[in-house]
Structure 1
């Protein structure tokens, strides 16, 4: 009954908005030390997770997110040749004739390891075919692309369809919605790491869910995305902008937010498993 009473007290304290101190948490100090760290199994002194308020609706931004586009402003972005079209809460790639040429959209803030959510919509009725149909892309650090494409009954090369790590890995499955329907991406991107001499010590990794379906599972990336070439790494800094690609197709976007990830969120091959 003692453990039950402690648990009830903790719950009451959390509901009341009070801080539960480590000495008030149940746990054990007579258990083995976990590998790679100093914590016992079920250690009561191990720091508790930070509380984050979840979104009120699916796809919404949690309380610790950085809002890049909420339908009201383009202040978080700059276009290479001017702003993209903002109409009734929707962001759309303008025509090349309107922009005067390729006009990628670049975040003003720079990021490294991130969780990203965005929603996109390909034109309806479909325009053209294959790579010219609903084509855009999400470029992490302006280098590493996850493909945006109209993938509904649209024949193209497998490593260039929606959900692909472009020019490298096709998606595990194709859960595309029909043209004109909103689709969602939830992506975890882990930046590459370089030694002081510029050599690669750890590649970039990406985990991708398209419409809630896993299409890339902690997939290593080959390097900076290239067309008709094998990607290669070149040393760069720890942070860089996120870029949305203009591929001369009027793809639309909404509800874009990111969560910069702390070091402990990175896959455990980078640091001790118990830390």
Structure 2
């Protein structure tokens, strides 16, 4: 009977012989080739395959959540759209599943209030058709403004505390770059796979492939309810502080 030592030596010789006969091209993959995407010429610009949701010129890609036929939407000026708290939330006309999102926002330079009442808005990565439901990535002024940490900027609201506070000063433009993987459901409505999100705030990773427990309600626990592709929603929050603005919004479907 051969010893384990003898078997081990034989195995090493076999591996060495295989390595000597191997060629670099044995592990080269040539097809299918990735599609060509032309990057933007400017930092933060839309690549060639992006759907431009807002370029500062019009709100054609958006409708009011509560009145999709209205032509009176949010305020448009100087290449940005500003929350109109008398009109309510704004959502995309299109529905999305998995995507890469770029969006920029600005807290007003002159801002009042504290905690959740200071520059509050939110990006609902999938807005659900019932009530105020959806999956919210928080927008809030957290530059020297404390609040509960699972509700500060960069959080998945009431679920996931951001990995860092990367808030800029009020008056400065800020960016989110987001990778969203939508949840999947079985035919009977049960959850097949949960939603996941990676978010980079002002160049800083704040959510690292976080697996969502469900939606992001203000009151109560998160839960999943079956749905399909959904719009992206920008929140018109009821806090008394000055409204924030958005610009340069684009999405790449994945």
The alpha-carbon deviation at position 228 of structure 1 amounts to 2.8
**1:141 aligned partner:** 126
Equivalent residues of 2:85, 2:237 under 8 A apart: no
TM-score, length-scaled by structure 2: 0.83
Give the counterpart of 2:247 among 246, 254, 259. Answer: 254
- 1:196/1:95 Cα in 2 relative to 1: closer, same or farther (>3 Å)? closer
Distance 1:95 1:127 in 2: 16
Residue aligning to 1:187: 178
Following superposition, the deviation at residue 43 of structure 1 comes to 2.3
Higher relative contact order (CA 8 A, sep 6+): 2
Gaps of 5+ in 2: 1-23, 128-133
Q: Show the counterpart of 1:225.
A: 216
List structure 1 segments (4+ residues) > 4 angstroms apart after TM superposition: none
Alignment partner of 1:42 is 2:28: yes
User: In angstroms, what is the RMSD of aligned CA positions?
Assistant: 1.4
Count of aligned residue pairs for this structure pair: 218
Distance 2:244 2:213 in 1: 27
Which of 1 and 2 has greater Rg?
A: 2
**CA shift for structure 1 position 156:** 0.2
1:201 positional shift: 1.4
* Aligned equivalent of 1:117: 102
Corresponding position: 1:150 with 2:150: no
Match of 2:213, SS?
A: coil
1:124, CA displacement in angstroms?
1.7
Shift of 1:218: 0.2
- Shift of residue 90 of structure 1? 1.0
Q: Give the Cα–Cα distance (whole angstroms) in 1 for the partners of residues 210 and 37 of structure 2.
A: 27
Say if 1:167 and 1:228, in contact at 8 Å, map to a contact too.
no
- Return the match for 2:79 from 65, 69, 89: 89
CA contact (8 A) 2:85 2:236 kept: no
CA contact (8 A) 1:122 1:252 kept: yes
Partner of 2:233: 243
Alpha-carbon offset, residue 42 of structure 1: 1.2
Separation in 2, partners of 1:172, 1:220: 14
Equivalent residue for 1:160? Answer: 151
